[in-house]
Amino acid sequence: MKLTEFRVQNYRSITDSGWVKIDDIAVIVGKNESGKTSLLKALWKFKPFNAEPYSLDREWPRGKRKDRSPSFEVVTTRFDFTDAEKAQLAGIDPQCAGLLRIEIGRTYDGKFASRWEPHAIPVERNGISAKHLLHAAVSARVLGKPAEVVEAMSAVLASTAAKLDAADGSAARALIPEVKGQLVEAATLKADAALAQSVGADCDGILAKMAVSPSEEAWQLAQTWIPTFIYMDDWLAFKGTAHLDQLKQRKDSNQLRDDDRTIITILEMAGLSLDEEVAKGALPDREQRMLDMNDASQTLTNEIAARWSQKKYEVQFNVDGYHFVTFVKDESAKALVPLEERSKGFQWFFSFDMKFMYETNGDFKNAVILLDEPGLHLHAAAQRDLLARLKAYARQNQLIYTTHLPFMIDMNRLDNIWVAEERPGEGTKVHAEWATADKDARFTLQAALGLSWAQSLFIGQKNLVVEGVTDFWFLSTMSTLLKDAGEPGLSEDLVVTPAGGASKVAYLATLLSGQELRVAALLDSDEEGIKAQKQLVHNWLLSDSDVLMLGVVVGVKGTFAIEDLFDPAYYLEHTTAAYSKELRGQSLKLRENLGGSIVDRLTAQFAELGVAFNKGRVAKRIMKDLADKQIADFPVATVDGFRKAIGAVNAVAARWTAG
């Protein structure tokens, strides 16, 4: 079956998404907190690989408590049948012939409801059903028999056809023993005792089958065709390192974290048992342990090679007591490196390939893949590579992904782009009418598509390249808040594009400049930013006046990043919330003896706790908070800092216009 449409209702911020159509790929664009993630998660829970029930308490929209019902249909899907599936359905019963598609809904309490198109399937089999089953059984039995035997059996069927055509279910069940007697008699008269016995048994089976509802049988079959829905966001990369004894404790107490599940997946795919490896951790036979790890490493490497031709990975496991480490390389790497030490892009590719392989049981097909903001950590060229790879995934699967990155849009397939926006009083709506989107959604589309609503793609565009997606989020959102307060925000004809890191800014600036576009860059005042500034200016890619250093613009000496524009207490509050599980109630204070930006200092402090700090995780928390803020809610220093940064960018754009 192929998914053609879906609809989400009464799930988190979504009251009614509206129908969203999909062929092989659908792309959903919208600002943060527009409901894109909720849309994908609701759809994922429709049929995940592992059971993931809906939660009425946590996921029913706030403020509608009186309407709550576990029997409410939260996701509704429509699937088209393949030609082979249509034939299988028609084989169940004549009343199943001509079915083209099915609508399937799932309720909060996990129950499915099915609706067939273009017509319903009756609950009861009738005389036509019986005639169909009898003809099929007799035809199979007389195959290869002498002509006179075939004629005798066919004559019996012909003589009873009219009665069966007119019979309802109960009348048909009463007629079957009569037809059985005539068929057995005809076979006996032709001296074919074996045929008489087999046809008699077939008739008994048909009588039993007449009690089975054709709609129920068709539904049981259709359920086996529902594809698996696979969900992954940019923050759930696989972790390759774990203390197995602690992992087992969390598993036994049902307190597994997301990264725990990825380790367990890797172990299962390699043929390793967590319980067995924990038991072996205290044993003195290190040589046998090493042999076991080598065997498991080769097992997973071979499994990947046999099933996944697009990418060649080599995996090596190392274990010391309970400490388990996964080393990985691909054909472009020269050495095995711990998975966590590989680039964010490599971790994402490897993690998704492993998850894809695991959740399709190695088939890599017939799945609906749901990706939330893929490629955030990839530079522009890698984003284009990822887009090509996603299109390859979609050849035997279907793919729905959210994005705001310009290189993650296939400019040859603008027909499959949908806008997600939250409308007052209506909740999240998903539609294909770009021109009717609100100003925030249009702003996001400008960044995502590289389009200006008034201009074509490569004519007269003004571009600001920032280091990463968090820079884009904070700058564009604070610009919107300033505009809402009647103050100047970012210039309307400016497209802001994240490069995926300071080291990638020069590449993106070169690409855009090569299209004869106006390009400026806004960089953090840190070691990487200064290096990028020198690369841009010294290599004549941009003039010095078009490269803005954030610290200089704001008037702060030393290391300064966009996160430093927020009050430290505000940033710490959201860091604590984002890492509540890891901190386990511990208070978080910035140590004065650590230098650098607030992100640098938190990275160092978290490293001492054995936790990897991800500023994107905190940024997501802050973006949720910004959705309910006004510019007056922020300290004067924060507002003044963003005013200065936006003013400096606008000054460059104004100079371009004047000159």
* CA dihedral for 226, 227, 228, 231, sign (positive or negative): negative
DSSP annotation string for 329-355: EETT-SS-EEGGGS-HHHHHHHHHHHH
C-alpha 347/C-alpha 340 separation (Å) is 7
Same-domain check for residues 570 and 493: yes
Q: Which two tokens stand for residue 499?
A: 């490069």
Tens digits of residue pLDDT in 150-179: 999 999 999 999 999 999 999 999 999 999
Report angle CA 196, 197, 202 to the nearest 5 degrees: 95
* CA dihedral for 355, 359, 365, 371, sign (positive or negative): negative
Which residue segment(s) compose the domain that 601 sits in?
Answer: 452-658
- Residue 455's pLDDT band (cuts 50, 70, 90): very low
Say what the pLDDT of residue 447 is.
53
The region of weakest confidence among 120-134, 291-305, 455-469, 517-531 is: 455-469
Phi and psi of 621, rounded to 5°? -65, -45
Per the DSSP assignment, residues forming a β-bridge with 318 are: 325
Pair type for strands 398-402 and 25-29: parallel
- Residue 206's pLDDT band (cuts 50, 70, 90): very high
Q: Is residue 482 situated within a structural domain?
A: yes
C-alpha 143/C-alpha 209 separation (Å) is 23
pLDDT at 507 over 60: yes
Same-domain check for residues 318 and 409: no
Q: Is residue 137 situated within a structural domain?
A: no
Looking at per-residue pLDDT, the higher value among 289 and 201 belongs to 201
Same-domain check for residues 427 and 482: no
Mean pLDDT along residues 248-269 = 87
Same-domain check for residues 266 and 376: no
Q: Is residue 447 situated within a structural domain?
A: no
What is the end-to-end Cα distance of the chain in Å, rounded? Answer: 58
Reported as half-sphere exposure (CB side, CA atoms, 13 A), residue 630 has a value of 5
Q: Is residue 232 situated within a structural domain?
A: no
Burial 117-131 (b: 16+ CB within 10 A, else e): eeeebeebbbbbbbb
Same-domain check for residues 355 and 386: no
Say what the pLDDT of residue 309 is.
60
Same-domain check for residues 394 and 503: no
Same-domain check for residues 165 and 39: no
Same-domain check for residues 433 and 511: no
Q: Is residue 136 situated within a structural domain?
A: no
Confirm if 535 and 506 have CB atoms less than 8 A apart: yes
Say what the pLDDT of residue 339 is.
83
Secondary structure class of 421 (helix, strand, coil): strand
Q: Which CATH number belongs to the domain containing residue 59 in this structure?
A: 3.40.50.300
Query: Of 110, 113, 115, 114, which Cα lies nearest the Cα of 45?
Result: 110
Say what the pLDDT of residue 185 is.
93
pLDDT at 532 over 90: no
- Residue 412's pLDDT band (cuts 50, 70, 90): low
Query: Of 218, 220, 217, 133, which Cα lies nearest the Cα of 183?
Result: 133
Q: Which two tokens stand for residue 81?
A: 């049948």
- Residue 454's pLDDT band (cuts 50, 70, 90): very low
Confirm if 649 and 520 have CB atoms less than 8 A apart: yes
Q: Is residue 132 situated within a structural domain?
A: no
Mean pLDDT along residues 419-427 = 88
Same-domain check for residues 276 and 354: yes
- Residue 460's pLDDT band (cuts 50, 70, 90): very low
Same-domain check for residues 653 and 601: yes
Looking at per-residue pLDDT, the higher value among 59 and 360 belongs to 59
Q: Which two tokens stand for residue 322?
A: 């309970």
Confirm if 57 and 92 have CB atoms less than 8 A apart: no
* Mean pLDDT across the chain: 87
Contact residues for 272 (Cβ-Cβ < 8 A; gap 6+):
292, 296, 317
Tens digits of residue pLDDT in 274-292: 998 888 887 777 788 888 8
pLDDT at 413 over 70: no
Mean pLDDT along residues 5-10 = 97
Q: Is residue 167 situated within a structural domain?
A: yes
Q: Is residue 130 situated within a structural domain?
A: no
Confirm if 54 and 466 have CB atoms less than 8 A apart: no
Say what the pLDDT of residue 440 is.
60
Confirm if 70 and 56 have CB atoms less than 8 A apart: yes
C-alpha 315/C-alpha 327 separation (Å) is 6
The region of weakest confidence among 257-261, 422-426, 553-557, 650-654 is: 257-261
Same-domain check for residues 305 and 433: no
Number of separate domains in the chain: 4
Report angle CA 387, 27, 480 to the nearest 5 degrees: 105
The region of weakest confidence among 61-75, 397-411, 473-487 is: 397-411
Burial 355-373 (b: 16+ CB within 10 A, else e): bbbbbbeeebeebbbbbbb
Q: Which of 365, 398, 414 represents a domain boundary (last residue)?
A: 365
Looking at per-residue pLDDT, the higher value among 537 and 2 belongs to 2
Say what the pLDDT of residue 307 is.
63
Say what the pLDDT of residue 237 is.
64
Same-domain check for residues 524 and 479: yes
Longest dimension (CA), the chain: 107
Q: Which of 312, 333, 365 represents a domain boundary (last residue)?
A: 365
Say what the pLDDT of residue 201 is.
95
Tens digits of residue pLDDT in 94-143: 999 999 999 999 999 999 999 999 999 999 999 999 999 999 999 999 99
Per the DSSP assignment, residues forming a β-bridge with 229 are: 48, 368
Report angle CA 531, 618, 595 to the nearest 5 degrees: 45
Q: What is the dihedral of CA 303, 305, 308, 311, to 10 degrees?
A: 130
